[in-house]
Amino acid sequence: MEMLMFQLRRADTTPLYQQLYQEIKNAIISGTISVETKLPSKRKLADYLAISQTTVELAYGQLLAEGFIESKPRKGFYAQPVEELAYLDVLQEEPVIAEQINYTVDFNPGEIDTLSFPFSTWRKIAKEVMDETNHEILLSGHPQGDEVLRQEIARYLFQSRGVVCEAEQIIIGSGTEQLVPLLIRLLPKTLIFGFENPGYPLTHNIFSHYDRQAVPIQVDQEGINIKELEASHVDVAYVTPSHQFPTGSVLSATRRSQLLNWAGAGERYVVEDDYDSEFRYTSRPIPALQSMDKSGRVIYISTFSKSLMPSLRIAYMVLPKRLLRAYQQTFLHYSSSVPRFDQQVVAKFMKDGHFARHLNRMRKLYQKKLDKLTSSLYSFAPTVTISGEQAGMHIVLTIETTRSEKELVELAKQANIRVFGLQSYDVFEQNMFPPRIILGFGGLSEEEIEHSVEHLMACWKIPSKKKQIIS
């Protein structure tokens, strides 16, 4: 027992079993406990150190798992030889843990209505796909994704978005953050990217992670500023024309033509991220930019995150034919990053007509939520005005106040309400006056919306015209 004469710090926040594990480990590394020395039994060591046998068992278990000791049947635990340098302790920084807040109200624009998902239909299709005769789903499949899913996507895009493409032009991936890097590596390194500002932070970060020069281009109420784009040295413009995130603006018809003319005038490309285009409320869906492209310069990207579920992790990219051969040669040995089981479930869900019916139901549901949200906000006008309500699952509030955007977000946070400021999506973090706040409504029920709006306005001390009339 003399070799285990160390003191456990009972007042320390580190659990006793970890302290015991570390002390024995250090003793073995330093040679204080020599190789093949038998350690005390768990009961004896527990009695000696006045700790529980469970504490000793946990410490021995960790030492055993890491190879510092060996358990010999009917004999006990013995110290093992170790390479000292292989087990030197390295000072590790404490991991940064994101602040966890249980919000009472969450206006997150990325949330969907989970209660309306057709689980029974999805479960039935999953069982049909997981048939014991469907042996092919055990294999890796086509590197661009299963052809049956690519055919269904091509059919859907033509019918709903006017996108003209063949299944061979479609690449299936596990999200935009997986497809965009492939695209970046496909295009020449000399090309300069332009992205919308304010815009989706993911794309900004991807360009910087892959050491690609990227230039922010300002957005206004008609979408990306074409004059600013033309004055830049940008070769590839990344845009969200159907419903710009986060401003909610829709690229005007004039600017759509200007953008396509800009791309066709040189060796340039437009990446069209068709963000939540499925949900448009004021008129018929606007055809995709790709449907107007005659020169093969638009690269179309979309996902099933809003139309089905974010956790599905299926996105797709439609390459112009001029890039298709280069893609197939460059990524010839790549495998699809999406499990075939998931691909075939989605393909059958679409082929049997469930996807179209689900979209129609959700469009009506989100329309009702949007109507409830906007009607709840009308009583706070003119202090509060609304924009970006034509499509998508979020709106933008402009607040006439002396407070800054950050102050409004913080006040909401103190009231356990999550909102997002437009400034946080601006690469320059420009102060915007009056401040603008993003409200997502997909994850809230109709019953919650009115109360949530009143709660938010109360924390901002914005009076309601209804209460003024009553008083």
| Residue 90 scores a pLDDT above 60 | no
Cis peptide upstream of residue 434 (ω within 30 degrees of 0): yes
What are the structural domain ranges in the chain? 2-87, 105-111+357-470, 131-352
Report whether 64 contacts 17 (CB < 8 A). Answer: no
Residue 267 has a pLDDT of: 86
The backbone torsions φ and ψ at residue 353, rounded to the nearest 5 degrees and listed phi first, read 90, 0
Question: What is 131-352's CATH topology?
Answer: Aspartate Aminotransferase; domain 2 (3.40.640)
Label residue 2 by pLDDT band (50, 70, 90). Answer: low
- Alpha helix stretches (DSSP H) within 144-214: 147-161, 176-186, 201-209
Q: Which residue type, as a one-letter code, is found at position 365?
A: L
Question: What is 2-87's CATH topology?
Answer: Arc Repressor Mutant, subunit A (1.10.10)
Task: Sort strands 384-387 and 394-399 into parallel, antiparallel or unpaired.
Answer: antiparallel
Question: What percent of the chain lies above the pLDDT cut of 90?
Answer: 60
Residue 209 has a pLDDT of: 84
E strands present in 192-289: 193-197, 214-220, 223-224, 236-239, 269-273
More confident residue, 211 or 70: 70
Residue 85 has a pLDDT of: 42
What is the pLDDT averaged over residues 27-53?
87
Mean pLDDT of the chain: 89
Neighbours of 453 (CB within 10 A): 26
Q: Pick from 310, 246, 468, 282: which is nearest to 374 by CA?
A: 282
Label residue 433 by pLDDT band (50, 70, 90). Answer: confident
Q: Pick from 9, 66, 1, 75: which is nearest to 36 by CA?
A: 75
More confident residue, 464 or 385: 385
Please state the length of the chain: 471
Report whether 171 contacts 317 (CB < 8 A). Answer: yes
**Which one is the CATH code of 105-111+357-470: 3.40.50.620, 1.10.1370.30, 3.40.50.970, 3.90.1150.10?**
3.90.1150.10
pLDDT in tens, 275-327: 878 888 876 667 899 999 999 999 999 999 999 999 999 999 999 999 999 99
pLDDT in tens, 123-155: 999 999 988 777 888 888 899 999 999 999 999
What is the pLDDT averaged over residues 161-175?
94
Label residue 6 by pLDDT band (50, 70, 90). Answer: low
pLDDT in tens, 321-345: 999 999 999 988 888 899 999 999 9
The backbone torsions φ and ψ at residue 138, rounded to the nearest 5 degrees and listed phi first, read -80, -15
Residue 49 has a pLDDT of: 84
Q: How far apart are CA 169 and CA 263, in angstroms?
A: 20
- Alpha helix stretches (DSSP H) within 66-173: 119-129, 147-161
| Residue 11 scores a pLDDT above 80 | no
Residue 88 has a pLDDT of: 47
Residue 28 has a pLDDT of: 86
What angle (nearest 5°) sits at the alpha carbon of residue 462, between those of residues 456 and 463?
Answer: 115
| Residue 432 scores a pLDDT above 80 | no
Q: Pick from 198, 144, 150, 460: which is nearest to 324 by CA?
A: 144
Residue 77 β-bridge partners: 71
Task: Classify residue 107 by burial, with Cβ atoms within 10 Å: 0-12, 13-18, 19+.
Answer: buried
Residue 117 has a pLDDT of: 96
Question: What percent of the chain lies above the pLDDT cut of 70?
Answer: 93
| Residue 5 scores a pLDDT above 80 | no
Report whether 107 contacts 441 (CB < 8 A). Answer: yes
pLDDT in tens, 391-421: 889 999 999 999 999 999 999 999 999 999 9
Label residue 86 by pLDDT band (50, 70, 90). Answer: very low
| Residue 347 scores a pLDDT above 70 | yes
Q: How far apart are CA 240 and CA 76, in angstroms?
A: 66
Q: How far apart are CA 220 and CA 256, in angstroms?
A: 14
Q: Poorest-confidence range of 84-98, 126-140, 172-186?
A: 84-98
Residue 467 has a pLDDT of: 56
